[in-house]
Amino acid sequence: MYALIDGNNFYCSCERVFNPALRGRPLIVLSNNDGCAVSRSDEAKALGVEMGVPVFMIRDLVNKHNIAVQSSNYTLYGDMSDRMMRILANYSPGIEIFSIDEAFLDLTNMPFTDFQELGARIRRRVYQDIGIPVCVGIAPTKTLAKMANRLAKKRLGVFVATSELIEEMLCATAVGDITGVGPRYAQFLQRHGFKTAWDFAQAPDDFVRTNMSVVGLRILHELRGIPVSDLDTAPAAKKN
Interval 168-180: pLDDT, tens: 999 999 999 998 8
For 67-119, how does the pLDDT look when each residue is reduced to its tens digit (9 = 90+)?
Answer: 999 999 999 999 999 999 999 999 999 999 999 999 999 998 888 889 999 99
- The one-character DSSP state at 137 is E
Q: Beta strand 95-99 with 102-106: parallel, antiparallel or unpaired?
A: antiparallel
- Percent of the chain predicted with pLDDT > 70: 95
C-alpha neighbours within 13 Å on the C-beta side of residue 17: 22
User: Residue 228's pLDDT band (boundaries 50, 70, 90)?
Assistant: confident
CB-CB contact of 148 with 160 (8 Å): yes
Contacts of 224 (CB under 8 A, 6+ apart): 201
Q: What is the largest CA-CA distance in the chain?
A: 56
Q: Is the pLDDT of residue 235 over 70?
A: no
User: Residue 157's pLDDT band (boundaries 50, 70, 90)?
Assistant: very high
- The mean per-residue pLDDT over the stretch 22-26 comes to 94
Minimal CA–CA distance to 95: which of 83, 79, 107? 107
User: Cα torsion at 187, 189, 194, 199 (round to 10°)?
Assistant: -130
Specify the pLDDT at position 233: 61
C-alpha separations of 28 from 52, 105, 220 in Å: 10, 29, 36
Residue 55, sorted as left (phi over 0), alpha (psi -120 to 50) or beta, turns out to be alpha
Distance CA 219, CA 231 (A): 15
CB-CB contact of 45 with 139 (8 Å): no
Specify the pLDDT at position 237: 52
Type of residue found at 7: G
User: Residue 232's pLDDT band (boundaries 50, 70, 90)?
Assistant: low
CB-CB contact of 35 with 55 (8 Å): yes
CB-CB contact of 2 with 138 (8 Å): yes
Query: Model pTM?
Result: 0.87
